Amino acid sequence: MARFSKVFISSTYIDLIEHRQEVYNLITQKLGLTSVAMEDFGAMSEEPVMACLDKVQECDLFIGFYAKRYGFIPEDSEGLSITEMEYDKARQEGKLILCFWLDRLHDWPAEKAQEEYVDHLDRFKDKIQKNHVIETFGSPENLAYKISIAIARIQSEQEDILADLELPLDIGLPSEPYLGLYYFRREHARIFFGRNADIRELYKALQAFNIVLLSGQSGSGKSSLLLAGLLPRMEKKNWHCIYVRLTDGDVVKAIEVEIREEEKSLIIIDQLEELFVHDNPENEVRRLALLQLVETRCNHQTKIILSFRKETLLEVMKMLETSRVDYDKVLLSNLDRQGITEAIRGISSSALVRKYKVEFASGLAEEIAGDIINDRESNVAPLLQILLRKMYDSCPIGSNGKRQFNQSLYYQFRSSSLEEMLDTQLADLGLHFPHAQKSGLDLDMLYRLTTELGTAANSVTESAFRETYCHLDDIPQIIHHLIDLFLVIRIGEEDSDPKLRIAHDSLAPLIRKKYQNSDAPGPKAYKILANRQKEIE
């Protein structure tokens, strides 16, 4: 599946009208992609011209083709034409770029040239050649043909990016295609879309280094990438995979128990940022134990991934200074536009359509991606999953046997945000358990499942949690409802005493903020006691 859907067409206009039309028809009619071109921007006054650069940012693939005109030079542009500025913007944003230049042997009318800008064109061409392979073109049909070949090549490369990283055969399709706030795990590997390039990058890093540092902001999807993206594929390649979260307790001891000396082992330690919350003796002991594990275990048979929030990177690197081990760093960014589109459309392959019966209206995936990516402050991955889960749950199967995901359905939910979702789910809980909302019990329960760093705590057993509220008879029912609302998950259900956890790290800071701002009796009393304790200390 191609990781692009919206294509920006860049060229000068008056000399390449026929070429632009041919390329536009190729993109929209033959390839079924969305095209963005200057024809869509209205009259070419300076303001819309500069707006073209914003349109470049929205696209996934940039196609530039150039002849013998340099193009319009806006004021205050340092002498650059809008055509060259579009190319520069595409490079700056890291877009896929295809460039084509008029074949010097192709006949070209003199009136379509700008002789006074030959030097500008030569400089522009040199700039492109330093970064990209330039193909030549002649007629409009010839240009369209060459672009179609180039796009097919890119699609083939992207579709094959994980060809040698297969999933184990025992992993099937889960009952639901969207998880809401639940993070992806091994059993969800076949519906984990949008991160193929990141899976490949992690795998390549592990091939070259014995230690890899994976960082990213909270909510970027590090745990899902590891559990659903990388680990099953490493397992298929006969690696014994050990996954622990630092909040699980004595993780080094647990790892030593799990390691199989005769097998290749991949150790993943998630939520490493918890080591640096407080500078206390306990954390220092844990850091030393971790360093000893790194120094004694890291070799071609045992590789380690340390996963943590990106703001902890310098502290982790400083910790490793004394270990004398080489490592690679991988930064997991928020899902980009291509990744969001792929995550939305992922279940539209024939096999998954038969299972989940979802059909997408034309342009819907691109519209959703545009709306989500424009909110720079949003936690993209969880927000997207919440949105898609709401759409899926509310969309009945139609007369054609499929769920129709269209703009009308999307508009019902697109104003949702993570915080709004939390408010909605808490309101739902309040309808079933009014006393929990009135007393602040709902926030108190969720607050106890967070850490001071604003992440999900993993060490809360359900029995201990119930013991905290042993004076209340309906705590088991409230816990069950929190799970149904995708706010809490139960880990290790097969164990005699499973653990409770916030469904996603991104919820933790929102919960803590609501708790601190709450005037309900429970949170208010807790804050008074906490302040008194500080005064005593």
Angle at CA of residue 218, ends 287 and 171, nearest 5°: 90
437 contacts: CB under 8 Å, gap ≥ 6? 426, 427, 429, 430, 520
Tens of each residue's pLDDT in the chain, 537 residues:
345 678 999 999 999 999 999 999 999 888 888 888 876 654 444 455 567 788 888 888 999 999 999 998 988 778 899 999 999 988 887 788 999 999 999 999 999 999 999 999 999 999 998 878 899 999 999 999 999 988 887 876 666 678 899 999 999 999 999 988 778 999 999 999 989 989 999 999 999 999 999 999 877 889 999 999 999 999 999 999 999 998 778 899 999 999 888 899 999 999 998 888 767 788 889 899 999 999 888 887 899 999 998 889 999 999 998 888 899 999 998 887 778 888 888 888 767 888 999 988 877 887 888 777 665 555 677 778 888 998 999 998 988 889 999 999 998 887 666 788 889 899 999 999 999 999 999 999 999 999 988 888 877 888 988 898 988 889 989 998 898 787 888 877 556 788 888 887 778 899 999 999 999 998 888 878 777 776 665
Over the stretch 482-502, which tens digit does the pLDDT of each residue have? 987 878 888 775 567 888 888
Distance CA 414, CA 407 (A): 10
Nearest to 258 by CA among 246, 266, 270: 266
Taken in order of first residue, the domains within the chain and their CATH numbers are 6-159 (3.40.50.10140), 186-331 (3.40.50.300), 347-411 (no CATH), 418-536 (1.10.10)
Whether 409 contacts 394, CB under 8 Å = yes
* DSSP secondary structure letters along 360-384: EPTTHHHHHHHHHHH-TTS-HHHHH
Burial of 509: CB neighbours in 10 Å, binned 0-12, 13-18, 19+: middle
pLDDT attached to residue 376: 52
Q: Which residues, including other chains, have CB under 8 Å from residue 497's CB and lie 6 or more apart? A: 461, 462, 463
Q: Which two tokens stand for residue 319?
A: 């910790």
Q: What is the mean pLDDT of the chain?
A: 87
